């Protein structure tokens, strides 16, 4: 099935269950899936019921799409995402964003768990993503350009919406939630980085490192969506004092930070 067919079919499948306007698409990162439980009047569609959707295989990721209300707005949440390291190609990794675009959703809130490379960060911090570096060596826009999705050579001078960055920082201040900000670097994984890799990523300007988000943001930006990106800093990825890291520790720290993440996102959706 072509990408366009997969996207159109998924749109039809969703439209059979809900066909009103949706304000926000939300991608929930590792350990942050509980935000989905806050969605009222939920319509849930497991990814396994969507022909053309790959299967999410990672522990800590659920694999379903939820449509409902959050803070009085209509949202479509992706609880569980597709990663390049699972063996999916970049078009499959980003298919949910194309579906959101087809549904005419104009706003994307995207989250992830990431390693902190900025020594001023602490595990459990929330980082507002101000920019990114694509270090995956691949790009979801490679191949024939589908003009209805966006231009061949999209601008990427300000993917992360400046107004949204300012708004979320203001909300953080008002709620007493400490926010840091910085540049997210995306690698493929699945291994965590070696010290020398972390040193390189820090030198080139990264504040956090993770294995997701950038492909989806490239696609959402191609589709002219307004984007807010939040990383939960789950571990310190400091090249000179690096400790061994396990996925279970990443999930545990993300879980500890999830309540403030949920509060922040709910307030953001209410106010925007």
By CB under 6 A, name the binding residues for ligand HPA. 113-115, 192-193, 209-211, 234-235, 237, 245, 250
| Cβ-proximal residue to ligand HPA, closest one | 115
In sequence order, what are the residues at sequence separation of 6 or more whose Cβ sits closer than 8 angstroms to the Cβ of residue 169?
128, 179, 181
Q: What are phi and psi of 211, to 5 degrees?
A: -115, 25
Q: Which of 138, 140, 150 is nearest to 222 (CA)?
A: 150
Of the two residues 29 and 223, which places its CB atom closer to ligand HPA in the complex? Answer: 29
Of the two residues 115 and 182, which places its CB atom closer to ligand HPA in the complex? Answer: 115
Q: Considering the complex, what minimum distance in angstroms separates the CB of residue 47 from ligand HPA?
A: 21
Of the two residues 53 and 121, which places its CB atom closer to ligand HPA in the complex? Answer: 121
Q: Considering the complex, what minimum distance in angstroms separates the CB of residue 223 from ligand HPA?
A: 26
Q: Considering the complex, what minimum distance in angstroms separates the CB of residue 84 from ligand HPA?
A: 12
Of the two residues 160 and 192, which places its CB atom closer to ligand HPA in the complex? Answer: 192
Q: What's the CA gap between 133 and 112, in Å, rounded?
A: 15
Of the two residues 250 and 264, which places its CB atom closer to ligand HPA in the complex? Answer: 250
Q: Which of 218, 210, 207 is nearest to 186 (CA)?
A: 210
Q: Considering the complex, what minimum distance in angstroms separates the CB of residue 228 from ligand HPA?
A: 19
Q: Considering the complex, what minimum distance in angstroms separates the CB of residue 195 from ligand HPA?
A: 12
């Amino acid at each position: 099935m072509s990408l366009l067919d997969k996207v159109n079919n998924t749109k039809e499948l969703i439209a059979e269950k809900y066909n009103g306007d949706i304000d926000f698409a939300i991608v929930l990162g590792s350990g942050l899936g509980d935000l989905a439980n806050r969605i009222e009047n939920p319509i849930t569609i497991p990814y396994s019921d969507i022909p053309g959707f790959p299967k999410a295989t990672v522990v800590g990721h659920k694999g379903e799409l939820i449509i409902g209300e959050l803070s009085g707005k209509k949202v479509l949440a992706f609880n569980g995402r597709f990663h390049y390291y699972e063996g999916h190609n970049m078009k499959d990794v980003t298919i949910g964003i194309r579906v959101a675009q087809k549904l005419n959703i104009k706003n994307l809130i995207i989250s992830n768990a990431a390693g902190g490379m900025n020594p001023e960060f602490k595990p459990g911090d929330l980082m507002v993503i101000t920019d990114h570096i694509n270090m995956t060596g691949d790009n979801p826009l490679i191949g024939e350009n589908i003009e209805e999705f966006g231009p061949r050579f999209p601008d990427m001078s300000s993917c992360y919406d400046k107004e949204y960055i300012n708004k979320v920082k203001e909300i953080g201040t008002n709620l007493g939630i400490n926010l840091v900000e910085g540049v997210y670097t995306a690698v493929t994984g699945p291994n965590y980085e070696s010290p020398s890799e972390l040193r390189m990523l820090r030198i080139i300007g990264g504040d956090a490192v993770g294995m997701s988000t950038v492909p989806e943001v490239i696609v959402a930006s191609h589709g002219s969506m307004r984007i807010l990106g939040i990383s939960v800093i789950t571990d310190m990825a400091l090249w000179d004092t690096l400790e061994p890291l396990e996925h279970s520790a990443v999930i545990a720290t993300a879980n500890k930070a999830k309540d403030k993440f949920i509060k922040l996102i709910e307030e953001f959706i209410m106010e925007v």
